[in-house]
Amino acid sequence: MTTLRTTGRGRGTGGRTPGRRRGVPEPGPARRGSDVKSILGVGAAFLAFALPPAIGAETPTVTATASATEVTVGQVFTVELGGEGPPGTVWTFPPEVVDEKVELRAAPPASGSSATAATQRYEAAVFALGEVTVPAITVRYRLPDGREGTTASEPVSLRVASLLAKGETEPSLADIRPPVKVPAGTAFWMALTAGAALVASLVLLLARLARRKAVVSEAPPEPQTPPDEEALAALDRLASSGLLQRGEYRAFYISLADVAKRYLERRLGAPVLEMTSAEVVAFLRDSVPARDLAPLLRDLTGAADLVKFARGSGEERIAERHLAAVRSMVMSLEARLNPHPQSASAEKSA
C-alpha cells in the first residue's frame, strides 16, 4: 500500500497544484497568447454580423420635387432630383425621361457646378388632362468604397388643368376683322409703274441674249478632215519624223498603232481606240468590209506589243513594211466603202 506525503500546499498532491494531472506540462506564454487572439477574432466576427451597418454604409436615396403640383397642358415647370448618401458619392442622372404623358429633359448645369453633383434640375411638361403622375426616375451612384448601384425616386402626382375657360367645352372661333384700306397716293403708282418698266426691260434683254446665243449655236460646224486624209497625213508625218533612223522603234510603233486604230474607229464607227490588240482583231473578223484586214492588224499589233511591252528590238526594214501595210489598209478600205473619192485621195497621197 502506497503512502502519500502531504505538504502545506495541499493534501495528497505530492507538492503539485491541485487539479493538474501528473506528467502534463504547464502551457507556456506563447500558447496562452494564441488562445487569446482566437477568442478575440471570434468575438469580432460575431459583432460584425450582430451589430447594424456603419453610418458610412447607408443606402443612397433620391427624392423628386416638382415646382408646381397644378399645371396646364404644355406648361413648362421644373422637377428637381436630390440625392442623399455618404460624402463622396458620385451620382449619374439620366439626360431625359419621356413617356406618353410627361416629358422631362435635363436642364444645363449652373456655372461652377460639378458634373457629379447630388442634384439635377429637369424642365418638364405634361400633355394630358386630369391626374398625371411623374414616373419614378432611376439614378445610378458610386459609393466612396467603389460599390455601385441604382436608386429611384418616388412618383410625383400632378393635376393638369385645361387651357379653356371654366365651363367652356366647345370654344368658337373669333370673328375675322374686315379688310383695312391701304392709302395709295401718286408716289405709289409712280413707283409701281417704274418697277414694271424695269422688269419689262430685263425680260426683253434676256430674250435678246437667248436669241443671240441660239443663232451662234446654230452656226454650222467646221468641216472635219475625212478619216482617210487624216490617216495618210499622219503616216507621212511619221515617215519623216526620223524615229526609224534614230532607232526609236518603241515610239514609232506607238504612233503607228494609234494612227491605224484611230482610222478604223472613225471609219467603222466603233470604239477601236479603247480595245486591246486581241479585241481589235476579233472585231475586224466580225466586220464584213474589213474582215480580210484582221491578219494585217494582228501582225502589226503583235510587233507593236513586242516592242512596247516586252522591250523587244526592232528592225528598220520590218518597221517600214508595217508602215506601208497600214497605208495600204487605209486605201483599200476606202476603195470598198467610198469608191468614188478614192482616186482623189490616192492622187493626193502620191
Q: Per residue in 164-203, pLDDT tens?
A: 666 666 656 656 677 777 666 787 778 888 889 989 988 9
Q: What's the CA gap between 138 and 124, in Å, rounded?
A: 16
Residue 43 in any domain: the answer is no
**Number of separate domains in the chain:** 2
Q: Per residue in 302-338, pLDDT tens?
A: 877 777 765 555 678 888 888 898 998 898 888 888 7
Q: How far is CA 129 from CA 125, 135, 160, 185, in A?
A: 12, 16, 5, 55
Residue 24 in any domain: the answer is no
Residue 106 in any domain: the answer is yes
Indicate the average pLDDT of the chain. Answer: 77
Residue 272 in any domain: the answer is yes
In which domain, by residue range, is 252 found? 227-349
Residue 37 in any domain: the answer is no
Of the residues 137, 160, 183, the one at which a domain ends: 160
More confident residue, 21 or 188: 188
Cell numbers found for residue 155 = 412618383
Q: Per residue in 244-270, pLDDT tens?
A: 888 888 888 889 889 989 988 998 888
Q: Per residue in 70-123, pLDDT tens?
A: 999 888 999 999 999 999 999 999 999 988 889 999 988 776 666 567 899 999
Check whether 15 has a pLDDT greater than 60.
no
Residue 270 in any domain: the answer is yes
pLDDT score recorded for residue 298: 84
What is the arrangement of strands in the sheet containing 119-126, beginning at the earlier edge strand?
A: 61-66, 77-84, 119-126, 102-106, 96-98
Residue 27 in any domain: the answer is no
**CB proximity list for 118: less than 8 A, separation 6 or greater:** 82, 83, 84, 85, 89, 91
Residue 333 in any domain: the answer is yes
